[in-house]
Amino acid sequence: MAQKDTVERILDAAEALFAERGFAETSLRTITSTAGVNLAAVNYHFGSKKALIQAIFVRYLDPLADAVTEELNQAEADDKSLAISDLLMLLTRSVYKVHGHSARRITGFMRLLGLAYTQSQGHLRGYLGERYGSVFKRFVGLLRPACPELSDIDLFWNTHFALGAAVFTLSNQQALAAMLESDTGVNTDINQVVNRLIPFMTSGIKSHQDPASAQGAAQGYFNLPNESH
C-alpha cells in the first residue's frame, strides 16, 4: 500500500469515527481496524492521537484557508466595504469552492468543530490559531468595521452565538430536513438551509442591547437575583 494511500485511509477512518463517536471515545485501535492498517502506521505517519486530530482539521482547512485568502484578496482589490452578510457569503463560497455542496462533508466537519469546543481540545485551538491566524485576522479586520456599534465583548459573544447556530444546524442538517419533511411535507437540501442560515446569523452578529436592559430582561424572565446586590 502506498504511503499516501495509507495516510488517506487513516484520515478517512478517523474523521468518520471522531464525528460519530467523539475524540475521547474513539481509540487508535478502532481507527486502525476501520482503516485496515496497523497501529505502527498511525504512529509512523502522525506520532500521536492529538497530531492525528490536527491533521484531520488541516486536511479540511488548508484548501479552505487558500480559498478564503483568494476571496479576501479580491475584496481588498475591489476596495469596497463588506457587510456582515457579504463576509458570511464569502465564507460560504469558499467552502463550496473547495469542498463542493456535499452535505456529508460539511455535516461531518461541523460535528468535528462542535466537538473541538466541547471535548477540551485546547491543543487544537492553539495549533489552528498558529497555522491560520493570519487568515483569521484578515477576516476579522473586515468584520470589525462591518459592525462598529458593537463592543469587543459584544462581537465575541455574537460571533460565537452565530457559530453555535451554524454548528448545530449544519451538523444536524439531515435530521432537521427529515423533521421538516415529516411535519410539513416539504423537502429541503443543504443549499436551502445555508440560504436561511446566513440572514439569521447576520442579524445575530449585528444585534446589540444595552447591558442594563438586558440584565433587567433576564432577571424578569428567569427571576434571577440582581448581581449588583
Instruction: Output the pLDDT for position 210.
Output: 66
144 versus 218: the higher-pLDDT residue is 144
Beta carbons of 29 and 39 less than 8 angstroms apart: yes
pLDDT digits (tens, 9 = 90+) for 173-226: 999 999 999 999 999 999 999 999 999 999 999 998 765 555 554 455 556 555
Q: Which residues contact 181 (CB under 8 A, 6 or more apart)?
A: 187, 188
CATH, residue 3: 1.10.10.60
How many domains are there within the chain?
A: 2
Using one digit for the tens of pLDDT, what is the confidence trace for 53-111?
A: 999 999 999 999 999 999 999 988 887 789 999 999 999 999 999 888 788 888 888 99
Grid cell in block for residue 204: 445575530
Other Cβ atoms less than 10 A from the Cβ of 189: the count is 11
| 33 lies in the same domain as 61 | no
**Which residues are CB-neighbours of 24 under 8 A, at least 6 positions away?**
119
Residues 26 and 108 in one domain: no
CA distance 125 to 22: 17
C-alpha to C-alpha distances, 139 to 86, 92, 142, 143, 146, nearest whole angstrom? 12, 13, 5, 6, 11
pLDDT at 214: 53
Q: Is residue 218 part of a domain?
A: no
Q: Which pTM was predicted?
A: 0.81
Q: Which amino acid is at 214?
A: A
- pLDDT of 218 reads 47
**Domain shared by 34 and 142, yes or no:** no
Instruction: Say if residue 6 is in the same domain as residue 66.
Output: no
CB 162 within 8 A of CB 201: yes
State the cell numbers at 1.
500500500
Residues 108 and 154 placed together within one structural domain of the fold? yes
User: What is the reported pLDDT for 208?
Assistant: 82
Q: What is the pLDDT of residue 9?
A: 94
Residue 199 C-alpha cell reads as 440572514
pLDDT (0 to 100) of residue 225? 57
Closest CA to 20 of 141, 107, 93, 88: 107
The count of residues in the chain is 229
pLDDT at 141: 87
We report the CATH number of the domain holding residue 100 as: 1.10.357.10
Answer yes or no: do 39 and 77 share one domain: no
pLDDT at residue 79, as a whole number? 78
pLDDT of residue 125: 85
User: Which residue range is the domain that position 80 belongs to?
Assistant: 57-208
pLDDT in tens, 25-61: 999 999 999 999 999 999 999 999 999 999 999 999 9
Question: Same domain for 30 and 84?
Answer: no
Indicate if 182 and 79 belong to the same structural domain: yes
Q: Supply the pLDDT for residue 124.
A: 87
Which amino acid belongs to residue 42?
A: V
If asked whether residues 27 and 114 sit together in one domain, one would say: no
